[in-house]
Every structure is written in structure tokens, then in C-alpha cells.
Chains A and B, each alone.
Chain A
């Protein structure tokens, strides 16, 4: 098969790297100091990447494999190459689209910053490392790119390294990520070790993705059950840390110190997706034992619900969005846990478009917001809540997948209620201490509008291929929206000083008129009809008192209990996290010793059994 694009598919991977080198080296030798060249090169690389991805997605059927030998030690051969199938191509396409929009946005965002070229170079490197992770041929190569993603995210988060707070946050993000990396490399080495000793085929040793099914079957056959569980849980742990699931959602909070474009990239299609992608790749291994799937589901649901609750308490817009990322990734974990990869992918794509749009629409710290951005933000928020566009598709499809299990379904419904609550509340909180102005800000409209259009297009494409029905989550989200509307939006219309004329007319002439009539009707009903029925009023007031009591003791009490529990939890967590690097080292050493001795004990048991 000779095809110009499919044969040269490695270009997707190499273009961003090449542009990164051009920018860095060109800067070093003072060749390309013109900013426009840097911007256009960056945009070109991600645009071409997206184009290549989409063309090859149309052309390819099955799997593309290209590799060359990288290291050879006796009979252990490590290959380096590409393993491309539809899943990775779809995710890569989303990655390039989102990063194109974000780069477009960051051109205007970074206009007045120092060392802007470094930022664009790092964005390219981020694309390269993420695409490499998606296309890598075996686990070892994937681990290398996994680390590279961590390093580049460290560099991007700590871009303003002269500000102490930011550099510290970047350091903490990096070190928390290292915990997951350690678990992942341990699992990879253990699996490789078992394959090397027990599998007949030596090509299994490098854990290539093409024979993942065979590898997982062999691993299941040749390890004892505790060992298999240990390995799988270590894999899950690695994915969990990278995807910011419950105990480790803190690194996403620290990552909020980054600039807006970086957050838009980090939360949508790059870093947090890596964990989900790892789980998709390793799903054949987890399928062999049912409890592992339940563990994945539990992790996902736990972080979905807890992070949603946190987000309901939080009012800082960036932090709310960070919590919501953790919660939505939890839902992706849930989709993988019920073995529905399609639902997970649909959810991932919808979430990527929506979340990056939301981040682009956020105003800077202490800046005003203009109303088109606000409208876009509201549409994105409603979409994330699962009320319009692709959010509906993704959520209802996922709900159809989990409907069989009652507990999952109920928790899912609760989560969707909470999601709708905090995300529709967010715009109202945001405009509370900001002015709404009329000025135009094209730099935000173009990328945000592009993402919005993509969101809608994706909705119409996906609608025809999925079978789902509007069910409980949608209605719950609607309820949440109404609750928020009642709670927060009084006199919202008057907060638009620069609203167009017809809105002004609407708010100052039609609304008072309607309100007058309505009030007249109400007073008529009140005096003439209700006034005659005092027992009814008494009953109503009793009902109000009763509901007040319930609110005071039951609802407030439960909320207080939850917060107290959270506080105790975090206090216990704080004690473990001393700020000393040495103690982290010591923990790592202790954990390694424990794992080593566990493996040895298991091995000894096997030896005793076979003898």
C-alpha cells in the first residue's frame, strides 16, 4: 500500500518538534526574531497536524505500524515507532483543533509578555509530546512521552518563574505527578519482567500495543491473583494521578496559577486526557477481573461527586472550572469502567471543546467582561451542564450506558444536578464584581466562536450515530438551572448597562407593563380569593415554617457535616505532606521496599506451590 499521507504519517509527530527547534534555535542565533513568523509557524504546525489527522482518519482502515529498532540488549529489543489506530487519531485530531484555537487566542493574550517566543515554542513541544503519547508503539515509549508531558507542563505552568508563587505551584504540580509516574514505571517493569520470563514470544517483552490482548491474557495466566491485582492497580494509580482523580485533584488546583491559554490546553485535550488514554489502551487487561472495573468506576464516581461538591462551594471561576475538570474526567473513568469506550470518547471530545471554550471566555484577573464573551460563556456552561448541544448527547449517551446499575445511575444523576448547579451559577458569580462593557475583543471571539461552532457541528454529527433518549440527568440539570435562576438572578437585566436598544425597551417598558398586570392579577387573587380563606394561609405559613425547620436542621446540618468531614480529611492530608524533599524521598524508598518485599513473598509462594 503506497499512499502519500499514510506513509508519511510521522509528519504529524515531527512537525511540532521541528517548529519548536526552529523557534528555539532561531532565537538562539537571532535568525527568526520577527514575532509574526513565530506565530504563523506555530499556527501552521497545528493546522497541518489537524489536516493530516483528519485525512488519515478518512483513509485508514485498521492500524498503521511503523517502527525501527532503538535499543538492543542481548535478546531484548526495544522498538521506537508509531502505532496508530482510529482512537488515537480521533483524540489527536481533537488535540490539534483545540491547540490551534488556543494558539490563536494566545497570540493576543501574550502580546505584552516577556519572552513570548519561549511560550510558543513550549506550546509546540506540548503538542509534540502529547501526539507522541497518543501514537507511541509500546509502553516504554509511551512512558517517555508521559514524562515529557509532565516536564513541559511544569515549564508552562511556571512560565512566569520570577513570581515565586507560580514557580512553587509548578514545582508542586510536577512532584505530585511524579508519584503517578513512579507507579506507572513500576507496573511497566513488572509486566515486562513477567513477559520476559514466561512468554514464549520475545516481542511481547516490550509491551507493544498491537498485542495487548495476548499480553494481558498471558499476564493473567502466569501471575498469581495478588500480583495481577498489584500490577493493574499500579497502572490505574498512574492514570488516576495524571487525570487528577480524587485524592490528587489538588495538582489541578495548583495548575490554576498558569496563564489562561495554558489552562485551556491543560484541561481540555492534553495533559489530563493522558490518563484516560492509558486506561483505554489497557482495558483488555482490566477486563479479565471484574473488581478492577468496579475500582475504576468507584474512583471516577467518587471524584465526580466530591469535586462537584467542592466546586459548588468555590466561587473563584478558575478553581470552579478546575474542579469541574476533575469531575468530568471522573465520568470518563466511569464510562471506561462500564466498558463503553464509545461513550468515553464522545464525552472526552465534547468536554474538550466546551472546556477550552469556557477557559478562553474567562476574563483576566480584575478585568471587565464584555457581553458577547459572556453570552458565549453561558452557552458553554449550559452545554457542559448537559442542557444544549453536544453536552446533551454525551451525558445522555453515558447515562444510557450506566443505566443498568442502579447505584451508578443515582450517583450519576446527583452529579449531573451538581454540575448544572455550579456551572450555571458561575456566570452570575462572575459578573457580580465586574462591569459588563460593550467594547469588542476580537481576539476572544474568533477562537471561542470556532470552538462553539465545532461543538455544534459535533453535536449534529454525533446525533445521528448514537441512540439515546432524554432522561433523568437532563431534567435534573434543568431543575438545577431553575434553582440557580431563582436563587441568584434578581434584576439581572438591569446589570446590562450597554445592552442593545430592544433589550432596553424590553426591560424598561414591556417588563414593567407585564409586571404591573401580573401584580394586579396577583393582588386581586390575594385579596378577593385567598383573603377569604384564612385556614389556607395558616396552612401555607405552617408549611413554610416546617420547611424552614427542615432546611435549618436537615439540610444545613448535612452540609455542615460534609464540610467538617472534608476539613478533617484535608487536615490529615496536610500532616503527611511536610514540605521537605527528603521525607518524600523516604516515603518513596519505603514504598519501593514494600512493593519489592511483596513481590518476593508472592514469588516465594509460587515457588513453594510448584515444588
Chain B
């Protein structure tokens, strides 16, 4: 029988994979993909809690919807910033972007 905790474990695993990817990966686009993984992992948590704890109103589902939309917006802005940086640096290696 599949319960709430299975889904929570799954979300956690996806989140941690995304986290490690975003910290370790060398390619900027890969980092962005990893950040999307993190968002998806959190979203799985949202939907899970909505399904198992609160099926009467749809608050959790709607939060998940907003979350998806905001994730897409964030990715669009990040890619635009990447585009501007790429014009300057001519490389997608993250080592080249280290000039804080």
C-alpha cells in the first residue's frame, strides 16, 4: 500500500538531487535544470499533502499551480540573464562567471 511517506521520500530525493546538481554542475544550463528539479520536488510535497491531509478544499493543489507558474517565470528570467551574460563571456562554463 502506497502511503503519504512514500511520496514524501520521493520529493525529498528529487530535491536533494537537484540541490547537489545545482551546487556541483559546471554548466550553467545544467544548474538551471537542477533548480527546476528542486522546484518539482517541493511541488510533489505540496500535492502529496493536499491529497492526503486536505481533500475537502483544493488549497494545496492551487498552491501547486502557482508554484509551477512561478517556477516557469523564474526560469525565463534566469535564461534571459544567462543570455545577456553569454553575450559578454562567450562561454557557458560556470567558472567563467565567478566575478562577484
- Chain A residues at the B interface, C-beta cutoff of 8 Å: 168, 171-172, 175, 578-582, 584-586, 589
Contact A172 B100 (CB under 8 A): yes
Contacts of B19 in A (CB 8 A): 589
**Could you list 25 A-B pairs, sorted by A, with CB under 8 Å?**
A168-B99, A171-B100, A172-B100, A175-B100, A578-B98, A579-B98, A579-B99, A579-B100, A580-B94, A580-B95, A580-B97, A580-B98, A580-B100, A581-B97, A581-B98, A581-B100, A582-B22, A582-B23, A582-B24, A582-B31, A582-B94, A584-B100, A585-B23, A589-B19, A589-B23
Contacts of B97 in A (CB 8 A): 580-581
Contacts of A171 in B (CB 8 A): 100
Contact A585 B22 (CB under 8 A): yes
The complex places the Cα of A581 from the Cα of B100 at a distance, in Å, of 7
Q: Write the chain A residue with the least CB distance to B19.
A: A589
Contacts of A586 in B (CB 8 A): 23
Q: Write the chain A residue with the least CB distance to B23.
A: A586
Q: How far is the CB of A254 from chain B (nearest CB, A)?
A: 11
Q: Write the chain B residue with the least CB distance to A171.
A: B100
The winner among A171, A172, A582, A589 for most chain B CB atoms within 10 A is A582
Q: Write the chain A residue with the least CB distance to B53.
A: A74
Contacts of A580 in B (CB 8 A): 94-95, 97-98, 100
Proximity bits, B1-37, A CB within 8 Å = 1, else 0: 0000000000000000001001110000001000000
Contacts of B23 in A (CB 8 A): 582, 585-586, 589
The winner among A168, A175, A580 for most chain B CB atoms within 10 A is A580
Q: Write the chain A residue with the least CB distance to B94.
A: A582
The complex places the Cα of A136 from the Cα of B44 at a distance, in Å, of 34
Proximity bits, B83-100, A CB within 8 Å = 1, else 0: 000000000001101111
The winner among B19, B22, B24, B100 for most chain A CB atoms within 10 A is B100
Besides A168-B99, A586-B23, 4 other CB < 8 A contacts? A579-B98, A581-B97, A589-B19, A589-B23
The complex places the Cα of A584 from the Cα of B94 at a distance, in Å, of 13
Contacts of B99 in A (CB 8 A): 168, 579
The complex places the Cα of A416 from the Cα of B97 at a distance, in Å, of 44
Q: How far is the CB of B86 from chain A (nearest CB, A)?
A: 16
Give the interface SS of chain B, mostly helix, strand, loop or mixed: helix
Contacts between chains A and B (CB distance < 8 A), count:
28
Contacts of A579 in B (CB 8 A): 98-100
Contacts of B24 in A (CB 8 A): 582
Q: How far is the CB of A171 from chain B (nearest CB, A)?
A: 6
Q: How far is the CB of A438 from chain B (nearest CB, A)?
A: 46
Contacts of B100 in A (CB 8 A): 168, 171-172, 175, 579-581, 584
The complex places the Cα of A585 from the Cα of B22 at a distance, in Å, of 9
* Interchain residue pairs A-B with the least CB separation, the first 5: A580-B98, A579-B98, A579-B100, A586-B23, A585-B23
The complex places the Cα of A171 from the Cα of B100 at a distance, in Å, of 7
Contacts of B94 in A (CB 8 A): 580, 582
The complex places the Cα of A580 from the Cα of B24 at a distance, in Å, of 12
Q: How far is the CB of B61 from chain A (nearest CB, A)?
A: 15
Contacts of A589 in B (CB 8 A): 19, 23
Q: How far is the CB of B1 from chain A (nearest CB, A)?
A: 26
Q: Write the chain B residue with the least CB distance to A581.
A: B100
Contacts of A172 in B (CB 8 A): 100
Q: How far is the CB of B68 from chain A (nearest CB, A)?
A: 20
Contacts of B95 in A (CB 8 A): 580
Contacts of A175 in B (CB 8 A): 100
Q: Write the chain B residue with the least CB distance to A175.
A: B100
Q: How far is the CB of B28 from chain A (nearest CB, A)?
A: 10
Q: How far is the CB of A231 from chain B (nearest CB, A)?
A: 25
Contacts of A578 in B (CB 8 A): 98
The complex places the Cα of A168 from the Cα of B98 at a distance, in Å, of 12
Contacts of B98 in A (CB 8 A): 578-581
Q: Write the chain B residue with the least CB distance to A592.
A: B19
The complex places the Cα of A586 from the Cα of B31 at a distance, in Å, of 13
The complex places the Cα of A91 from the Cα of B19 at a distance, in Å, of 42
Contacts of A168 in B (CB 8 A): 99-100
Contacts of A581 in B (CB 8 A): 97-98, 100
The complex places the Cα of A581 from the Cα of B98 at a distance, in Å, of 7
Q: How far is the CB of B41 from chain A (nearest CB, A)?
A: 15
Q: How far is the CB of A158 from chain B (nearest CB, A)?
A: 13
The complex places the Cα of A580 from the Cα of B95 at a distance, in Å, of 7
The complex places the Cα of A582 from the Cα of B95 at a distance, in Å, of 9
The complex places the Cα of A168 from the Cα of B100 at a distance, in Å, of 7
The complex places the Cα of A572 from the Cα of B11 at a distance, in Å, of 39
The complex places the Cα of A172 from the Cα of B99 at a distance, in Å, of 10
The complex places the Cα of A585 from the Cα of B38 at a distance, in Å, of 14
The complex places the Cα of A172 from the Cα of B24 at a distance, in Å, of 22
Q: How far is the CB of A302 from chain B (nearest CB, A)?
A: 27
The complex places the Cα of A175 from the Cα of B99 at a distance, in Å, of 13
Q: Write the chain B residue with the least CB distance to A580.
A: B98
Q: Write the chain A residue with the least CB distance to B31.
A: A582
The complex places the Cα of A557 from the Cα of B19 at a distance, in Å, of 50
Proximity bits, B57-100, A CB within 8 Å = 1, else 0: 00000000000000000000000000000000000001101111
The complex places the Cα of A578 from the Cα of B100 at a distance, in Å, of 8
The complex places the Cα of A580 from the Cα of B97 at a distance, in Å, of 7
Q: How far is the CB of A596 from chain B (nearest CB, A)?
A: 13
The complex places the Cα of A171 from the Cα of B97 at a distance, in Å, of 14
The complex places the Cα of A302 from the Cα of B99 at a distance, in Å, of 31
Q: How far is the CB of A286 from chain B (nearest CB, A)?
A: 34
The complex places the Cα of A123 from the Cα of B23 at a distance, in Å, of 36
The complex places the Cα of A579 from the Cα of B100 at a distance, in Å, of 5
The complex places the Cα of A171 from the Cα of B99 at a distance, in Å, of 11
Q: Write the chain A residue with the least CB distance to B20.
A: A589
The complex places the Cα of A578 from the Cα of B31 at a distance, in Å, of 19
The complex places the Cα of A586 from the Cα of B100 at a distance, in Å, of 15
The complex places the Cα of A589 from the Cα of B18 at a distance, in Å, of 12
Q: Write the chain B residue with the least CB distance to A590.
A: B23
Q: Write the chain B residue with the least CB distance to A588.
A: B23
Q: How far is the CB of B45 from chain A (nearest CB, A)?
A: 15
The complex places the Cα of A586 from the Cα of B94 at a distance, in Å, of 14
Q: How far is the CB of A109 from chain B (nearest CB, A)?
A: 29
The complex places the Cα of A105 from the Cα of B39 at a distance, in Å, of 46
Q: How far is the CB of A578 from chain B (nearest CB, A)?
A: 7
Q: Write the chain B residue with the least CB distance to A587.
A: B23
The complex places the Cα of A172 from the Cα of B100 at a distance, in Å, of 7
Q: How far is the CB of A422 from chain B (nearest CB, A)?
A: 30
The complex places the Cα of A537 from the Cα of B10 at a distance, in Å, of 90
Contacts of B31 in A (CB 8 A): 582
